[in-house]
Amino acid sequence: MDKRKGTCGMNVGIVIVSHSPLVAEGTAQMVRQMVGEEVRLAWCGGDPDGGLGTSVQAIIDAMESVWSDAGVAVLVDLGGAESNSEMAMEVIGEPRSARIRICNAPIVEGAVMAATEAAGGSSLATVVATAEELSPL
């Protein structure tokens, strides 16, 4: 997981969750290339044994590493990543889980757009809505 954090602690944090660590890392690299260090960003991918999959604990760690009172937007690639992200939110619990949103958006494009909005200081609702505008109907 990428532990590097951006400089704006009050901006929405971004988490990228993929079944493939290479996809997650590559997406994070694209976000950094486009947005720089202006947003708190973490990624996780792969199962604990090094195969394809996701890990609830890795997702929790990613969410906590980018935590901001402004919230956290999570971009996922497939259904398992979404369900494990939901479980991670349950483990984190209220009141913090109320400030975490899973975006229904393509992982790469959504992450770039969400990070761009977050870097500009947009609210969690705006960050999520901007990412989700990319979703097909």
CATH number at residue 50: 3.40.50.510
Report yes or no on 6 lying in a domain: no
Residue range 85-134, pLDDT digits in tens: 999 999 999 999 999 999 999 999 999 999 999 999 999 999 999 999 97
Report yes or no on 43 lying in a domain: yes
pLDDT of residue 7 exceeding 70, the answer is no
Where in the sequence numbering do the catalytic residues fall?
Answer: 19
Q: How confident is the model at residue 1 (pLDDT cuts 50, 70, 90)?
A: very low
| Widest Cα–Cα separation across the chain | 37
Q: Which domain holds residue 110?
A: 13-121
Report yes or no on 135 lying in a domain: no
Whole-number pLDDT of residue 5: 40
Report yes or no on 131 lying in a domain: no
Report yes or no on 53 lying in a domain: yes
Give me 86's structure tokens: 């939901």
Of the candidates 81, 74, 77, the one whose C-alpha atom is nearest the C-alpha of residue 23 is 77
Please tell me the distance from the alpha carbon of residue 135 to that of residue 127, in angstroms, as a whole number: 14
Whole-number pLDDT of residue 50: 87
Report yes or no on 136 lying in a domain: no
Q: How confident is the model at residue 136 (pLDDT cuts 50, 70, 90)?
A: low
Report yes or no on 109 lying in a domain: yes
Q: How confident is the model at residue 6 (pLDDT cuts 50, 70, 90)?
A: very low
Residue range 28-78, pLDDT digits in tens: 999 999 999 999 999 999 999 989 999 999 999 999 999 999 999 999 999
Exposure string for 46-84, b = 16+ CB within 10 A, e = fewer: beeeeebbbbbebbbbbbebbbbebbbbbbbbeeebbeb
**Domain count of the fold of the chain:** 1
